[in-house]
């Protein structure tokens, strides 16, 4: 088992400074934090962003593929919560991950942990999708990996064009899931809303 870490600053050590900065930020935009409803808001804002930017460490649990399982494994509807790196506003949705095992199989709970590992930082959805696929490909050495992420971006729904309900879908495929049309079609058909 391998411990998986992201290089981050300890959020607790920066909360006080972030609270001061959040108060200054809000007041610069004309939002007074003196009233009872907003007095604690800068500290809450600082803690919320610290949480959104800090993934939990985890032990990567893989197992020998003793049964020589060689069919597609698909985990659907993994929650995705990240921050758009352009506006630092949340985007949320789901990830669907599939892989064709080779010598190792992955503990099922680790799919959600891997998504969180790469989502808990300022991101763009395209990069996030590719990072999850590449990491699984590197760590497992499978015959192929497929990752599809579908998310709604609040930077698009709450500001600018204000297109509430618009969903962005990105995909990254490696190995057989990329090169073999039948395997690719099987993975995509297994996803919500897919054919079949």
Q: Which of 171, 174, 195, 170 is nearest to 185 (CA)?
A: 195
Mean pLDDT within 5-25: 77
Is 70 exceeded by the pLDDT of residue 5?
A: no
Percent pLDDT > 70 in the chain is 92
| Per annotation, catalytic residue among 84, 96, 150, 186 | 84
Q: 94: helix, coil or strand? A: strand
Tokens of 190: 């297994």
pLDDT on residue 159: 87
pLDDT tens, residue by residue, 39-84: 999 999 999 999 999 998 888 889 999 999 999 999 999 999 999 9
pTM above 0.95, yes or no: no
β-pairing, 144-153 vs 168-175, is antiparallel
Structure-block tokens of residue 39: 């007095």
Active site residue 81: no
The single residue of 81, 139, 152, 155 carrying the catalytic annotation is 155
86 is known as an active-site residue? yes
Domains of the chain and CATH, by start: 2-52 (1.10.286), 62-189 (3.30.1130.10)
Distance CA 74, CA 177 (A): 12
Active site residue 96: no
pLDDT surpasses 60 at 176? yes
- Spot the catalytic one: 116, 125, 131, 186: 125
pLDDT interval class at 180 (50, 70, 90) = very high
Residue 114, both tokens = 């891997």
**Would residue 84 show up in a list of annotated catalytic residues for this protein?**
yes
- Least confident range from 9-18, 72-81, 83-92, 166-175: namely 9-18
State whether residue 55 is helix, strand or coil. coil
pLDDT category, 4, cuts 50, 70, 90?
A: low
Q: CA-to-CA distance for 128 and 172, rounded, in angstroms?
A: 10
The pLDDT of residue 11: 53
Half-sphere exposure of 152 (CA within 13 A, CB side): 9
d(CA 66, CA 129): 29
Residues 6+ apart with CB under 8 A from 39: 33
Helices (H), the chain: 11-28, 41-52, 109-119, 125-140, 154-157, 176-179, 181-189
For the ranges 152-156, 176-180, 184-188, which has the lowest average pLDDT?
152-156
Residues for the chain: how many in total?
196
Give 124: exposed, middle or buried? Use CB within 10 Å, 0-12, 13-18, 19+.
middle
Would you call 44 helix, strand, or coil by DSSP?
A: helix
Catalytic, out of 87, 130, 139, 152 = 87
Give the confidence band of 1 by pLDDT, cuts at 50, 70, 90: very low
Give per-residue pLDDT as tens, 92-143. Answer: 999 999 999 999 999 999 999 999 999 999 999 999 999 999 999 999 999 9
Q: Quick check: helix, strand or coil at residue 67?
A: coil
- Could you say which of 12, 40, 85, 126 is catalytic? 85
CB of 191 closer than 8 Å to CB of 149: no
Q: What pLDDT score does 196 carry?
A: 46
């Amino acid at each position: 088992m391998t411990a998986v870490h992201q290089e981050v600053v300890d959020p607790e050590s920066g909360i006080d400074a972030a609270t001061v900065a959040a108060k200054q930020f809000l007041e610069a935009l004309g939002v007074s934090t003196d009233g009872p409803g907003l007095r604690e808001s800068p500290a809450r804002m600082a803690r919320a962003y610290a949480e959104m930017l800090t993934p939990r460490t985890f032990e990567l649990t893989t197992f020998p593929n003793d049964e020589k399982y060689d069919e597609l494994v698909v985990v659907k509807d993994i929650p995705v919560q990240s921050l758009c790196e352009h506006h630092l506003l949340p985007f949320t949705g789901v990830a669907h991950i599939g892989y064709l095992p080779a010598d190792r199989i992955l503990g099922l709970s680790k799919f959600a942990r891997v998504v969180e590992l790469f989502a808990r930082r300022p991101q763009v959805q395209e990069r996030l999708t590719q990072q999850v696929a590449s990491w699984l490909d590197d760590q497992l050495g499978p015959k192929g990996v497929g990752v599809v992420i579908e998310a709604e971006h609040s930077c698009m729904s709450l500001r600018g064009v204000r297109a509430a309900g618009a969903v962005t879908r990105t995909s990254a495929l490696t190995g057989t899931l990329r090169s073999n049309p039948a395997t690719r079609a099987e993975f995509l058909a297994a996803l919500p809303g897919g054919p079949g």
